[in-house]
Amino acid sequence: MTAPQIGFISLGCPKALVDSERILTKLRAEGYIISPNYKDADLVVVNTCGFIDAAVEESLDSIGEALAENGRVIVTGCLGTREGEIRARHPQVLKVTGAHAIDEVVASVHEHLPPRHDPFNSLLPPQGIKLTPNHYAYLKISEGCNHRCTFCIIPSMRGDLVSRPIDDVMVEAVRLADAGVKELLIVSQDTSAYGLDLKYQPHYWRGRSVKTRFYDLAEALGDLGIWVRMHYVYPYPHVDDVIPLMADGKILPYLDIPFQHASSRILKLMKRPAASQNNLERIRAWRQVCPDITLRSTFIVGFPGETEQEFEELLDFLDEAQLDRVGCFAYSPVKGAVANDLPDSISEEIKQVRLARFMERQSEISAGRLQQRIGNIETVLIDEVVEEGAVARSQSDAPEIDGQVFIDGATHLTVGDFVEVGIEEADDHDLWAHLI
């Protein structure tokens, strides 16, 4: 008897990718085969994103493609909270669930495609099904968010903060490390708020009591002997406590902190509590403790009411902060966001001009930061080996969003290797190096 086959489309952020991995792991454990194409799939699951309008359209288009190519589709993910909108475009979908509805998705698959258990098809690797390469993995430590940023609708889709107990997180981390993962990317909606909802409840881990909180988690993960990279870190004061762990090499000297803007007035309209001057002071303090720290951030330009003076304030902040990696978005109304009702919206033309000016300024800064690394000897992780050589990442580079290190001629290396290289050249995004 042929095992039922599931097609899967995973859209959106790394947090959604982890949800997809968990769904696939459960289905695989029950004997379902994961199909790489529509043709062989008996049913397709689409894990959607609903954060911005472009992501909504991509999700709706993907649902339509799956229906056209296969015909039997279950929809889940953040856009699933807007079932009416999905069914208005695609009334023939079998089921719609919201974000993080792993058990509900599996139950829907059971309903429309009952499992046929086969012990040979139910074998799983100890780390479960992963959609990333074998040498790195995303580790999600919590769901939801307690903030109510006016441009964001994530709490309405994923709810308030729900942290995983620290011993549960560490069991998964060890399992991944034992399976050969060389880098863990820690993700959530608000990583530095980890454990707040559990009142930092302590658990025993490897003979000692550790609290369910950001610092204890960073310290425990630092004992695994692999790269640990922190993403989506809100700039709370207690983040300062983790910087010495980076200086000591326990976790990577890398912080992904979404500052969003520099104007105090715009930050208040966004309901972001941090002030730009405080952030600049803390950046200086972090670099004093850990000079090699890499700082990544994201910003929004063209937020309703943003004046030319406030935009210039943001450019001045970039000059002062000298951030290593930066992403920027022109403000886009998101259905259901409070910011949609703010007065003094900015024209699309001005948004795009400001976005271009912002990226031009940051490109110069990023290029200067990378030029400073020429001549350094650095450890890199091999992501790919191609005909011309190896493609790697340094400690300063998260996969897919940051830069790469190109090593000409190093075709003998293996994906997942750590190697020492000498940095030879740089542009505004990537590095070129030779093996040491």
The model's pLDDT over 295-306, given as tens digits with 9 standing for 90+, comes to 999 999 999 999
Residue 168 has pLDDT above 60, yes or no: yes
pLDDT tens string 121-151 = 555 566 677 778 899 999 999 999 998 899 8
Average pLDDT (11-30) is 90
CA torsion through residues 245, 246, 249, 251, sign:
positive
- Number of Cα atoms under 13 Å in the Cβ half of residue 323: 29
Q: How far is CA 118 from the centre of its chain?
A: 35
d(CA 426, CA 408): 14
Helix (H) or strand (E) holding 47: strand 43-48
Q: What is the pLDDT of residue 229?
A: 97
Q: What is the pLDDT of residue 257?
A: 94
Please name the residues in contact with 190: beta carbons below 8 A apart, sequence gap of 6 or more: 142, 145, 146, 147, 161, 232, 234
Distance of CA 393 to the CA centre of its chain: 16
Q: What percent of the chain is modeled with pLDDT above 90?
A: 78
What's the pLDDT score for residue 319?
Answer: 97
Is the model's pLDDT at 348 over the cut of 60? yes
Distance CA 320, CA 126 (A): 46
Nearest alpha-carbon partner for 182 in 140, 141, 127: 127
pLDDT at 118: 57
CB 392, CB 380: distance < 8 Å: yes
Alpha-carbon distance 33 to 6, whole Å?
Answer: 6
Largest CA distance in the chain: 69
pLDDT for 124 equals 54
Query: Which pLDDT score is estimated for 250?
Result: 96
Q: Which two tokens stand for residue 353?
A: 């001009």
Residue pair 369/384 in contact (Cβ under 8 Å)? The answer is no
* CA-wise closest residue to 100 among 47, 168, 46: 47
Nearest to 23 by CA among 81, 127, 106, 122: 106
CA distance 22 to 33: 15
What burial class does residue 430 get, using C-beta atoms within 10 Å of its C-beta: 0-12 exposed, 13-18 middle, 19+ buried?
A: middle
Helix (H, G, I), strand (E, B) or coil at 264: helix
The mean-pLDDT minimum among 40-54, 57-71, 122-136 falls in: 122-136
Q: Which residues pair with 139 in a beta bridge?
A: 186
What type of residue sits at position 167?
D
Contact 241, 211 (CB under 8 A): no
**Mean pLDDT computed over every residue of the chain:** 92
> How much is the pLDDT for 54?
85
Q: Which residues, including other chains, have CB under 8 Å from residue 257's CB and lie 6 or more apart?
A: 233, 234, 235, 239, 295, 296, 297
The SS3 assignment for 91 reads coil
Burial per residue of 266-300, b for 16 or more beta-carbon CB atoms within 10 angstroms, e otherwise: bbebbebebebeebeebbeebeeebebbbbbbbbb
> Is pLDDT above 70 for 375?
yes
Helices vs strands, H then E, count in the chain: 12, 20
DSSP-assigned states of every residue in 51-81: SSHHHHHHHHHHHHHHHHHTS-EEEEEGGGG
* Band of residue 293 on the pLDDT scale cut at 50, 70, 90: very high
- Is residue 183 scored above 80 in pLDDT? yes
Tokens of 390: 């190896």
| Cα–Cα distance for residue pair 167/183, rounded to 1 Å | 19
Average confidence (pLDDT) over 382-391: 94
What was the pLDDT predicted at 334? 83
Q: Please state the φ and ψ torsions of residue 271, each to the nearest 5 degrees.
A: 65, 45
pLDDT tens profile 230-272? 999 988 889 999 999 999 999 999 999 999 999 999 999 999 8
